[in-house]
Amino acid sequence: MRAGARDARGEASRTLVPAELLALPMQPVDHFPKDPYGAADARTRSLEAARAQAAAYFDGRVTKEPAGFRTTLALRRADGTEIAHAEGRGRALYEAVRQAMEPLVGPERIPKAKELTPTVAEWSRVKDVDSGWRCWM
């Protein structure tokens, strides 16, 4: 999920996803790694890239439990200091992520957009930011 979707602008330039942080090729290549996210150094490389390229980044953990999923998220500045953190639980992973994201939205955290971009509104077929959030998550 792009955190930028939470601010509902839908502008990919505002956020980087794990594939971008790991500098994975955007086009098909013969030497694409089988499991790039399972590499021993993938987490370390992703966090280093986020710290180097972003004003803020997410760090966290997903745990599978008997009743579903638990997600812990921390929003951090580029220097690693924590801005805010939250935890979510849900039977489905998207529910746990949605619940953890809610308290991270606000002033000095992830800004909430005032409106949807036309592309996001058309794609999601919703008219307002809050409805768009439910679609993305």
Topology, domain 3-16+54-136: Double Stranded RNA Binding Domain (3.30.160)
Instruction: Please give the model's pTM, rounded to 2 decimal places.
Output: 0.73
For the chain, what percent of residues have pLDDT higher than 90? 44
The domain locations on the chain are 3-16+54-136
- DSSP string for residues in 34-87: S-GGGSTTHHHHHHHHHHHH-SEEEEEEEEEETTEEEEEEEEEETTS-EEEEEE
Residue 10: which region, alpha, beta or left (left: phi > 0; alpha: psi -120 to 50)? left
What is the DSSP code (8-state) at residue 26? S
First to last CA, the chain: 8
At 5, is the pLDDT very low, low, confident or very high (cuts 50, 70, 90)? very low
State the pairing for strand pair 82-90/56-65. unpaired
For 35-45, the pLDDT digits (tens) are 999 999 999 99
